[in-house]
Chains A and B, each alone.
Chain A
């Protein structure tokens, strides 16, 4: 699946996870902030490739 967007999720004002949406898919992932999580590793790679995470704040 091809990543469409990644945005930061906040809960009670705290940044707690990333939300990934995919192109042409109704599947989404919510990814915890854990270096051992391979989805999290992919997000870091996606960011390092110059992509931008949506941050709408709380």
Chain B
């Protein structure tokens, strides 16, 4: 039937019921269908430029181990007309034209296992997954995405799948479907293919930018051999400092087709990120909280998290002379040293530090007094 035959006037109320729709006729329509968090690269609680390995834009972590170097930034270059505002950009700042056998570079999102039980991994009913994303790079050729089913008490399985960037410096949408039996294997559908049902990492998606021969595997085939980052066809993105790689609109969903990207309200997107990292305070002149002198040189406060965090978090805080001040009875008592946690749980934490001395038992207002002051909580995977 031609699509223009289906008009409002042609449909009488009640003539189309759920029984008229074949099972699976409409795929991927559930809310929160996107397994990837912050796939539109909108959230950047840690900042917008990163030169070291580790977490960058929310939920995406860079792992570069070559003789080259990359910088990751949040960028406004996006595919036009699709509703995106931000992208993750990887810029090759130091070239490595010859990747050693044990060298590699790529970025990852780890996914909490208890969110993935509906994929039914570890059973014969395991679901296919479809990954879609927009990508733009000056370095064309074959790239790989590495899918990892984490061990989690069972066995770790991996599957690299190739995709091609065809045109230099041009946004292209890529769609990759991952079968639970990729390569005619039965690893995922057997018991050991189960995804851990806990707050630990259950699955990982790794976008490979370069990989030495130690890490090569077979395209689109599950294996129990660890660290299959790519196939031998993977390009070396780090071969020239003019190379840039942009990505946005990342979506991973159950099924064999890619649906439109699921845009979430910005506050919902932020809250989903805050389960793993929460930037409490940043910059000068910000309120940290009400504090009490537990001892003459010991001050305590309680910090609450906006959402329940994945696990009891670490505090990640800058420290230096005069970074924080507790104002007590008209006096400022500076904190020059470390901030530490105690009695921390997934919803709140006691935070203590050693300020200039005051009277034990006094209460005061803990504020930031340096532009480099920063307090965050980390429970990333």
Which residues of A does B touch, CB under 8 Å?
Answer: 1, 9, 11, 16-17, 19, 26-32, 34, 36-40
Residue pair A36, B311 in contact (C-beta under 8 Å) = yes
* In the bound complex, CA of A39 to CA of B380 (Å): 9
Secondary structure type dominating chain B contacts: loop
Residue pair B200, A28 in contact (C-beta under 8 Å) = no
Interface hit among B4-12, B36-44, B335-343: B335-343
Can you sample 17 A-B contacts with CB below 8 Å? A16-B341, A17-B342, A17-B344, A19-B340, A27-B374, A28-B317, A28-B318, A28-B338, A29-B314, A29-B315, A30-B339, A30-B340, A32-B312, A32-B313, A32-B344, A38-B379, A39-B378
B130 at the interface (CB under 8 A from A): no
Residue pair A11, B200 in contact (C-beta under 8 Å) = no
Residue pair B342, A38 in contact (C-beta under 8 Å) = no
| Shortest 3 CB-CB contacts between residues of A and residues of B | A36-B311, A30-B340, A34-B312
Residue pair A30, B372 in contact (C-beta under 8 Å) = no
If A26-B372, A29-B378, A37-B311 touch, does A19 touch B338 (CB 8 Å cutoff)? Answer: yes
Residue of A whose beta carbon sits closest to that of B351: A30
Residue pair A27, B317 in contact (C-beta under 8 Å) = yes
If A11-B342, A37-B379 touch, does A30 touch B199 (CB 8 Å cutoff)? Answer: no
If A17-B341, A19-B338, A30-B340 touch, does A36 touch B312 (CB 8 Å cutoff)? Answer: yes
If A1-B52, A1-B54 touch, does A27 touch B316 (CB 8 Å cutoff)? Answer: yes
* In the bound complex, CA of A2 to CA of B54 (Å): 11
Residues of A within 8 A of B380 (CB): 38
Residue of A whose beta carbon sits closest to that of B341: A30
* In the bound complex, CA of A38 to CA of B339 (Å): 19
Residues of B within 8 A of A30 (CB): 314-315, 317, 338-341
Among residues 187 to 227 in chain B, which have CB atoms less than 8 Å away from a CB atom of chain A? 199-200
Which residues of B does A touch, CB under 8 Å?
Answer: 52, 54, 199-200, 310-320, 338-344, 352, 372, 374, 378-381
Residues of A within 8 A of B311 (CB): 34, 36-37
* In the bound complex, CA of A32 to CA of B317 (Å): 14
Residues of A within 8 A of B341 (CB): 16-17, 30-32
Residue pair A36, B316 in contact (C-beta under 8 Å) = no
Residue of A whose beta carbon sits closest to that of B276: A38
Residues of B within 8 A of A40 (CB): 314
Find the residue from B200, B317, B340 having the highest chain A CB count within 10 A.
B340
Residue pair A38, B381 in contact (C-beta under 8 Å) = yes
Minimum distance in angstroms from A2 CB to a CB of chain B: 9
Residue pair B342, A29 in contact (C-beta under 8 Å) = no
A28-B316, A31-B314 given; 7 more Cβ-contact pairs under 8 Å: A16-B340, A16-B343, A26-B372, A30-B341, A31-B341, A32-B341, A40-B314
* In the bound complex, CA of A32 to CA of B378 (Å): 11
* In the bound complex, CA of A45 to CA of B348 (Å): 27
* In the bound complex, CA of A40 to CA of B372 (Å): 25
Residues of A within 8 A of B54 (CB): 1
If A36-B311, A38-B380 touch, does A17 touch B340 (CB 8 Å cutoff)? Answer: yes
Residues of A within 8 A of B320 (CB): 26
* In the bound complex, CA of A47 to CA of B344 (Å): 23
Residues of B within 8 A of A39 (CB): 314, 378
Residue pair B199, A36 in contact (C-beta under 8 Å) = yes
Residue of A whose beta carbon sits closest to that of B344: A32
Residues of B within 8 A of A17 (CB): 340-342, 344
Residue of A whose beta carbon sits closest to that of B201: A38
Residue pair B319, A37 in contact (C-beta under 8 Å) = no
Residue pair B340, A37 in contact (C-beta under 8 Å) = no
Residue of A whose beta carbon sits closest to that of B199: A36
Contact of B319 among A1, A26, A36, A38 (CB under 8 A): A26
* In the bound complex, CA of A44 to CA of B339 (Å): 21
Minimum distance in angstroms from B301 CB to a CB of chain A: 14
